[in-house]
Every structure is written in C-alpha cells, then in structure tokens.
Amino acid sequence: MDNSEKFSQKVKMKTILIIVIGKRKESAVKVQQILTAWGCNIKTRLGIHDGVLDNCSDTGLLILELVGKQKDNKEIARKVALIPGVTSQLVELNVPAE
C-alpha cells in the first residue's frame, strides 16, 4: 500500500452546500422543490434568516451537509443556482480520520 492509498483511507470528505436565497418569499418554494427531490442526499439542514415577526428578512441562508455521489451534489448546487435571486457554493472539506 503506497502513501496515497494510506491517506485516502484516513481522510473523510465532508460536502457542504451553502445557499443564499434573495427574495425568499418568491424563491423559497422553488428551492424547496429541488431539495425535496434530492432529499436522500441531505444529511443535515440549517436554515437562517434575519428578523422575526414584523421585521422578517426577505433573504435566507441555507447550510446543507450532503452525502452521496459528487456528481449528484454538484447537480443540486447547479439546479438551485438557476433560480433567480439564488446563489450557491459547494464546499468539499477533507476531514482526517481519528
């Protein structure tokens, strides 16, 4: 076993998709439809928006931990980014095994 094989066995990959939703009231339903279609790829989901009640912001932030095939995760990011007012960034992090 060479060093690259040892390294690949010790390193896990975390895939995070960051989504910023502008015009949340208009775009959120479309984003949700995409996320529902790819629901089995979503391990963790955190949604944040500023303000509450009468001071509710129209901008939202979603942070997703994705699992599954890399090409599928890239497709989720691509589809979400096609929605007007929505941007996404796929982040892949190497996490060394303990």
Average pLDDT along the chain, 98 residues, taken 10 residues at a time: 53 92 89 97 92 79 96 97 96 86
Ordered by where they begin, the domains of the chain are 3-96 (3.30.70.1150)
Q: What is the dihedral of CA 24, 19, 62, 29, to 10 degrees?
A: 40
Cα angle 4, 77, 93; round to 5:
30
> What is residue 97's predicted lDDT score, i.e. its pLDDT?
75
Helix, strand, coil percent values for the chain (each to nearest 5): 40, 40, 20
pLDDT given for residue 6 in this prediction: 54
- What pLDDT shows up at residue 67? 96
pLDDT at 55 (0 to 100): 78
d(CA 64, CA 43): 7
According to the model, what pLDDT value does residue 15 have? Answer: 97
In this prediction, residue 83 carries a pLDDT of 96
Residue pair 9/72 in contact by the 8 Å Cβ criterion: no
3-state secondary structure at position 71: helix
